[in-house]
Every structure is written in C-alpha cells, then in structure tokens.
Amino acid sequence: MNDAAPKSGARRTGSGFGRLLVTVYGILAFAAIGRSSYELATKFSDAPVAYSLSTLSAVVYVLATVALAKGGPRWRVVAWVTVGFEAVGVLAVGTASAVSPDVFGETTVWSGFGQGYGYVPLVLPFVGLWWLWRTRPRPHDGTHVTPTPTAPEPSAPDPEVR
C-alpha cells in the first residue's frame, strides 16, 4: 500500500491549512528537542520526571510533525495517536502542575498547560485533532452507490387467508 497518497475522498493532512499546522508542529518539535537535550545532558538528576516528560513531549511532537506531513493511511493513524496523546498529556500535566506547582520539580513543555510556550501546546493538539477529522477519508461523491431495495416478488395468495 502506498502511504504517500491518501485514500479516495481524503484531503491531504499536509496541504493547505495543514502546511501551517505541520510548520507549527515542526517549530514546537525543534524547541522541545533543544530544551530536552539540554536538560538531559546537564541536569537530569535534578528533576528526572520533569526532564523525561520534556523528552517525551519532544518525541511526540516529532512523530506528529512527520505523520501530519506524510498523511498516508498509516501515517494518519500515527497522527491520531500522537496528537491524541499530546492532548491528554498537556491536560494531565497542566492540571497536575496547576494543582501542585512543584509536583515535577521543574517545569516541562506541558506544565501550566504550555504557559512557557505561549499556550501553544494546549491549543495545538485540538487544532490537530480538528484537522485530522476534517481531512478524514470519505467516500468520493458519485463513486459510492447505495443499492436501492427492491420490492418483493408478488406471490400467489395464501388459500388459508380469507
């Protein structure tokens, strides 16, 4: 199966508005990779949970960027999983950090619902999920024919019914 071409009736996730979405994901992925690489190399022992979460978010952003850019059937599944995971992650980490600000020892990309990144990590997954829904594969107009029911064949009257 060719992953590069979308199914009939599907819009490409990386075209049109999707190009902007992929660009924003790419920028966030680049920023998260830079942050997590520095944290892992220089101060991992200070807050291993926070820095592991930053690394996890970087991996999620990279996978989401690639999946949205490629947009084939298999990549769409990867996009749904990563963007959905991102939405749950930013809500969970954001809530935990709002309830107890020192819960992770240090801030992560998703702390404060992405406050350190202008709340982009909070908004982006929901825009991504909307875009995946909007560009989902659908039957192409005119090619999907629904059979019409036919009337039953007339039968001989039942002699027992009067």
pLDDT per residue of the chain (162 residues) written in tens, 0 to 9: 444 444 445 578 888 899 999 999 999 999 999 999 999 999 999 999 999 999 999 999 999 999 999 999 999 999 999 999 999 999 999 999 999 988 988 999 999 999 999 999 999 999 999 999 999 887 764 444 455 566 666 666 666 766
Position 58 scores a pLDDT of 95
Q: Do 125 and 84 form a contact (C-beta atoms < 8 A)?
A: yes
Count, in order, helices (H) and strands (E) of the chain: 4, 0
Question: In this predicted structure, what is the pLDDT of residue 7?
Answer: 46
- pTM of the predicted protein model: 0.77
pLDDT of residue 95: 96
Query: Looking at residue 143, what is its pLDDT?
Result: 41
Backbone angles phi, psi at 20, to 5 degrees: -65, -45
The torsion defined by the Cα of 17, 20, 25 and 31, in degrees rounded to 10, comes to: -170
Q: Which residues fall within 8 angstroms of residue 80, CB to CB, at 6 or more apart?
A: 129, 132
pLDDT at site 2: 46
Q: Is 7 helix (H, G, I), strand (E, B) or coil?
A: coil
